[in-house]
Structure 1
Amino acid sequence: MRPRQPPQTVPTTDVRILDIAAEHIRRHGLARMTVTRIAEEAGMSHANIYRYYPSKEALIEEITAAWLKPLEAGLRMIADAPDPAFDKLERLLFAIHRAYRAKLENDAPLFDLFLAANDKNAPIARKHRNRCRLEIQRTLEEGASGGLFAITDMKKAKALVLDALYRFLSPAGIVLDAEESRAGVEARMQTLLDLVQGALTQGRY
C-alpha cells in the first residue's frame, strides 16, 4: 500500500494574483503591467482584482512586501536570540545586505520595484526601513544595558551604524557594487563594521 501523499496547499486568490503579477513583471516589465492583463491571466475580471488590491500601486507594494516580510521576520529572530549584542549586530547588518544582493542577482525585476520604492520614499520602503532600524536599535540598547557597548547617546550611535554602512544597506548602494564580487564587497563591509563596533565599545557615542 502506497503511503498517502500530503495534500497540496492551494494558494488563496490574493496570493495567486500576486504570483501572476510578479511573474508578469519578470517576463514583460513593469511598464507593460496592467490590472486588465493580470485579470486576463488569472481568468477573472479586473473588478475582482480590485476586491483584493484597490490599485495597481497597492498590488506592486504587496509584491515587494512578499519578499521583504521573510527578511524582517529573520531580523526579529536574530534580535531575539540569546547571542551577545556584538554578534547580533553583525548578523543583522549582513542579513540585510545579503538579502538585497541575492534579490538583485536572482530576481532583478522585483528588486527594481524595491529600488523604485526607495527612490520615491513609498510607504512600503518607509515601513521596511523602520522595521530594520528597530531591530538595530533593539540590539544596540541590549548591548548598552549589558555593558558591551558604552553608548551615551543612542540616537547618535544608531546614526553611526546606519551612516557608516549606508552603501551596503541601501538598494542603490547594492546596485553600485553589483559588478564586484560578493567576497570583495563583504570584506569592505566587515572593515567598516569593525571600526563601528570599536567606536561603540570605546564609548565614543
Structure 2
Amino acid sequence: MALRSASPPKPSTDLRLLDLATEHVRRYGAARLTVTEIAEAAGMSHANVYRYFRSKTALLEAVTATWLAPLEAGLRIIADAPDPAHDKLERLLFTIHRAYRDKLATDPKIFDLFCAATAQNAEIARRHQQRIARAIQRILDEGHGSGTYHINDQGGAVTFVIDAMYRFLSPGTLRADIDSPRAEIENRAVRLLNLVSQALARGGL
C-alpha cells in the first residue's frame, strides 16, 4: 500500500497575516495598507486580525521586525566571535551597511517602511538601534580589556562610533547615496573607520 506524503504544516494565523501584510506593502506601499484589506485577504473579520496585531502600526512594525531579526542575530554572533576587536568592529558595521543597502536595492518598499520608522523614532527603530549599540559596546569592552582600545567612558565611546559612522548606518543617508558606486562608498567608510579605531586606541574617550 502506497504511503501518502504528509502535508506541509500550515502557517500559524499570525504568520499568515504577516505574510499578507508584507506582500501588500511590497506591491502598494505601507500607506495603502488597511487592516480591513488584510482581513479580507485572510478570509476573516478585521476584529479577528486585532486578536493578533493590536493596530495597523503593530502589524507594520512586525513586517519590519521580520527582516531585522536575522540581521540582529548576525550582529550578536559577530560581537561574540573570537576575532580581534578592530576586525569585529569593521565586520559588524559593514554588515549593517550592506544589509541596509541590499534591502534598499532589492526590497525598496519594506526599506521605506524601516526608514519611516527611523524618522518617527518608532519603537521598532529604537529597539533596533539599541541592539546595534549593545553589539558595539560588547566589542569595545573586549577591546578595552585586551588593551587594543583605551576607553574612559564606555557609553560615550559607543556614541562616538555611531556618530562617526552615521553616514554609513543611517537608512536615510543610504537612500540618498543609492546611486553612488558601492565600492566608492565602502572605501570612504573604511578610511573613516580607521580614524575611529585610531582614536579609540589613543584613548581620551
| TM-score bin, normalised by smaller chain | over 0.9
In the TM superposition, structure 1's runs of 4+ consecutive aligned residues that sit over 4 Å from their partners are 4-7
Q: Quote the residue 1:184 is aligned against.
A: 184
TM-aligned CA deviation for residue 27 of structure 1? 1.0
Instruction: Tell me what 1:49 maps to.
Output: 49
1:146 and 2:146 correspond = yes
Secondary structure of 2:51's counterpart equals: helix
Task: Say what the alpha-carbon RMSD is for the aligned residues.
Answer: 1.8
Residue 94 (structure 1) shift: 0.6
AA aligned opposite 2:199: A
Alignment partner of 1:17 is 2:7? no
Matches within 5 A, 1:94-133: 94-133=94-133
Q: In the aligned structure 1, how far is the partner of 2:97 from the partner of 2:20?
A: 27
Q: Is the partner of 1:38 in helix, strand or coil?
A: helix
1:136: which partner in 2?
136
Cα offsets for 1:75-134 (capped at 9, x unmatched): 001111111111111111011111111111110001111100111100001010001000
Q: Please state whether the residue corresponding to 1:51 is helix, strand or coil.
A: coil
1:192 CA drift (Å)? 0.3
Distance 1:5 1:184, change over 3 A: farther
In structure 2, the CA distance between the partners of 1:23 and 1:148, relative to structure 1 (3 Å rule), is same
Letter in 2 for 1:203: G
Deviations 1:130-177 (A, max 9, x none): 010000011001100111112222233222211110010111111111
Farther off after superposition, 150-159 or 55-64: 150-159
Q: Which consecutive unaligned segments of at least 5 residues does structure 1 have?
A: none
How far the C-alpha of 1:22 sits from its partner, in A, is 0.8
Residues 51-93 of structure 1, C-alpha deviation per residue, up to 9 Å, x if partnerless? 1001101001110001111111000011111111111111110
Residues in 2 aligned to 1:27 and 1:109: alpha-carbon distance in whole angstroms = 8
Q: Distance in 2 between matches of 1:6 and 1:85?
A: 48
What is the TM-score when the length of structure 2 is the normalising length? 0.94
Deviation of the 1:25 alpha carbon: 1.2
| Identity percentage of aligned residues | 57
Mapped to 2, the partners of 1:170 and 1:176 lie a distance apart of 10
- How far has the Cα of 1:5 moved from its partner? 7.2
Residue 182 (structure 1) shift: 1.2
Task: Return the alpha-carbon distance in structure 2 between the equivalents of residues 9 and 79 of structure 1.
Answer: 35
Say if 2:165 is the partner of 1:165: yes
Tell me how many residue pairs correspond in the alignment.
204
Q: Which runs of 5+ in 2 are unaligned?
A: none
Which stretch shifts more, 21-30 or 62-71? 21-30
Q: Distance in 2 between matches of 1:5 and 1:82?
A: 44
Query: Is residue 64 of structure 1 aligned with residue 64 of structure 2?
Result: yes
AA matched with 1:23: E
Q: Distance in 1 between matches of 2:200 and 2:7?
A: 52
Query: Cα distance, 1:7 vs. partner?
Result: 6.1
Take 1:5 and 1:109, find their aligned partners in 2: how far apart are those partners? 38
Q: Which amino acid aligns with 2:115?
A: L
